[in-house]
Amino acid sequence: MTLPSSLRHVLACAGVGFALAAATVPALAATGSTAKPAPVHGLIVQLHNAPSHVTLARERALPQSGSALPREAARWQRLVAELRSDSAVLGELPDWVHAAPQRDPVGASAQLLRFVRPLTAEQAERVAARLAARPEVAWVAANSRERRQAIAGNAPDDRYFAGANGQWWLHPVQGSNANAIEARLRGVPGFLSAWQSSTTGNAAAVVAVLDTGITCHPDLGNLTADCIGGAILPGYDFVADGSYANDGDGRDADPRDPGDWVSQADRNADPARFGDCEVESSSWHGSVIAGIVAAQTDNGIGAAAVNWNGRVLPVRVAGKCGADVADIVDGMRWAAGLTVCKRSDRAGGCAEFVPANRNPARIVNISFGGSAACSPAYQQAIDELRAAPGGGALVVAAAGNAWGTPSRPASCQRVIGVGALNRDGFKTNYSNFGAVLAISTVGGDDGDGTWGAWLTDSGVLSIGNSAATVPADCTLPSANCYFYHYGTSFSAPIVAGTVSLMLSVNPTLSVSQIEQGLARSARPHVTSSVSGFGICSDSNTGRCLCTTSTCGAGILDATQALYYAADPAGYVNLRSADVIDTLELRAAVASGQDRPANSTAAPAVTGAGGGAMGSAWLFALSVATLALCGQVSALARLAQALRRLRTRHRTRRR
Ligand SMILES: [Ca+2]
Ligand SMILES: [Ca+2]
Ligand SMILES: [Ca+2]
């Protein structure tokens, strides 16, 4: 089967192995992973010259001559009729695929075709190829489910900023090769210095967190009936599919996280939807991310955060077993202040729009992703966000944890894709890497892989929730609501939070200035004189030395980023690269090349897995718990510095 090059391009952009025509070897069967390809919940179809949903709704409300409505209805009727009578589709697919699909608006002017049941990746690929071959179709993208970019493995703790096993990721850049690993922080962003030299942030620079929703937490200041208040703005719940939503309905104005646990009973009851999902406890992933960006800081309890006064817009896009691309795309658009459909009229029209977002965000964090190529559904939304009113919004996305090619949407164009570094500044064993990434910062070293024993650390300490299913009440003494976290999921919000600090310094920064600022202010990637410690490459995917072609422009530097924000035109970065040569590194390198954990089960990341990640992406870890209470550390000095800073602040305000 030969496809014209333009169509091949469209298919290559459409995810789920659509890059391969039916005659070639299916990508899905060629992966080394044993994970079953995830089902696809319909296809997102964009027609050429399609009017926006807003325009069509207006015309529906006020009928007039020259309306686009009849033309659009006829185009879709014809397209669906042709699909249902298509002999290739009829011949190869089960009967239920031929039932008329439900049509829902998605994005600005695309439609989500939902079939009676989820399609297998192969079925989706075949139907998409038939649709994409129609002249009126601009592109087709799979509505697959995207997964968290976290590595599970939380060790409980209840303590603050200071201490070698506290929030070291917020501590100043410091240490030399002569220091013990606990005192070496050459890979961290240096927030304490940024706060002291510039700003602790303000509330105007809203960060949208597209995730599992939000919980009430004393350290978010949102102990209210609806978990709104303090650091948390009124958000929205975009999870349209009630069977994944776990809150009993589709889209609604309550983005509280009801828990995203998946039980064996879920799998047994609905194998088509849950068959490829891991049985797991609730992740509270959205609350963790919100805590990294804007946990209330300097409030005497719990954890500190990047932006002391930051506000998070909770945009719930994920339920059980991940997030649909259609919900992510609509969540992104709403977050930036664009109009999104709430409820379909089941014939492709919008029966009701989501109320306008009163607090549009210029920073949109997404720590979910899939291994398929960036689809036009993502790219179009990303580009719309950049052009949104109010200066445009930037998407910050986690690179993913499969030690391979960055997952989407980090792999899309004009996104800030973020990789995860070790505290010394080199790539963690799990982080994805590639030329498409914009920047890297710490994500915690989980101790996996060949070198884990020498280089592990305590992870990114933030808020969380101890409950396995529905959220525990964090005001109860028995509830544990602080945890260590590992993964690129937690690197992305460190960057998103830094952008909110940049916008606190200078709210007029354009999206290109923010991008350039992050790149130009980044610290050069570390190098090493230890023989055998190689740069990251296709044959060296574990812990490795980053370059600008594998982990972005450099190591996130918060202090320098804020200097840039204050004076983009005059900014000059004079930093040179640190040269890493430590006892631990020498011992690790002597043991041979670092191999990622479960490397034999590593998913082939090009096109495999239908956009969702196999079990290897979310492998569980057990991490030693280190009680911080009563520990005396040199870093306790930092707590004092913080207190001094607070005093200065108050003085200045008075
Ligand atoms: Ca709901
Ligand atoms: Ca809800
Ligand atoms: Ca706090």
Same domain for 272 and 187: yes
Which ligand has the nearest atom to the CA of 292?
3
387 lies in some domain: no
| Closest ligand relative to 240 C-alpha | 1
Write down the pLDDT at residue 244.
97
Residue 117: predicted pLDDT: 87
Whole-angstrom distance, CA of residue 203 vs CA of residue 358: 14
**Residue 61 and residue 104 share a domain:** yes
Residues 138 and 176 in one domain: no
d(CA 643, ligand 3 centre) in Å: 13
Number of domains in the chain: 2
Per-residue model confidence (pLDDT) at position 6: 34
Q: How far is the CA of 26 from the centre of ligand 3 (A)?
A: 50
Catalytic (active site) residue 109: no
Query: Does the annotation count 254 as an active-site position?
Result: no
pLDDT at site 577: 95
Q: How far is Cα 420 from Cα 552, in angstroms, rounded to an integer? A: 11
- Asked if residue 276 belongs to a domain, the reply is yes
3-state secondary structure 592-622: CCCCCCCHHHCCCCCCHHHHCCCHHHHCCCC
> Facing residues of 364 across strands?
208, 395
131 with 213, same domain: the answer is no
Shared domain check, 181 and 122: no
Is the Cα torsion angle 357, 358, 359, 363 positive or negative in sign? positive
Check whether residue 270 and residue 301 sit in a common domain: yes
The answer to whether 492 and 366 are in contact (CB under 8 A) is yes
Give residue 464's domain range. 168-359+401-406+416-636
Distances (CA, A) of 417 to 316, 347, 367, 420, 536: 21, 36, 10, 10, 17
Residues measured by CB to lie within 5 Å of ligand 1, the ion: 237, 245, 247, 249, 252
Does residue 426 share a domain with residue 559? Answer: yes
Write out residues in the chain with pLDDT < 50, as ranges: 1-34, 152-158, 599-654
Q: Are residues 473 and 591 in the same domain?
A: yes
Nearest 5 degrees, angle CA 372-CA 127-CA 12?
Answer: 35
pLDDT of the residue at 644 = 37
- What are the tokens at 539? 């044959």
User: How many angstroms is it from 396 CA to the middle of ligand 1?
Assistant: 25
DSSP 8-state secondary structure symbol assigned to residue 546: -
> Both 209 and 67 in a single domain?
no
What's the gap in Å between 249 CA and the centre of ligand 1? 4
Residue 67, Cα to own-chain centre: how many angstroms?
39
Q: Is 374 a domain residue?
A: no
Q: How is residue 238 written in tokens? A: 């975009």
- Say which of 53, 285, 485, 525 is annotated catalytic: 285
Q: Measured between alpha carbons, how far is 302 from 352 in angstroms, rounded to an integer? A: 41
Same domain for 85 and 190 = no
Q: How far is the CA of 650 from the centre of ligand 3 (A)?
A: 17
238 CA from centroid of ligand 3 (Å): 29
Query: Residue 354 is part of a domain; what is its CATH number?
Result: 3.40.50.200
The bound ligand whose nearest atom lies closest to the alpha carbon of 254 is 2
Looking only at the bridges linking them, the beta strands covering 110-114 and 207-211 are: unpaired
Shortest-distance ligand to the CA of residue 227 = 2
Does residue 649 have an active-site annotation? no
The answer on 190 and 331 residing in a single domain is: yes
Q: Which of 86, 104, 157, 211 is catalytic?
A: 211
Please tell me which residue in 282, 375, 489, 491 is annotated as part of the active site: 489
Query: Long-range CB contacts (< 8 A, 24+ apart) of 265-273?
Result: 266/320, 270/243, 272/39, 272/117, 272/118, 273/39, 273/118, 273/243, 273/244, 273/321
Within a domain: residue 347?
Answer: yes
Domain membership flag for residue 479:
yes
Query: What spacing in Å lies between the alpha carbon of 186 and ligand 2's midpoint?
Result: 41
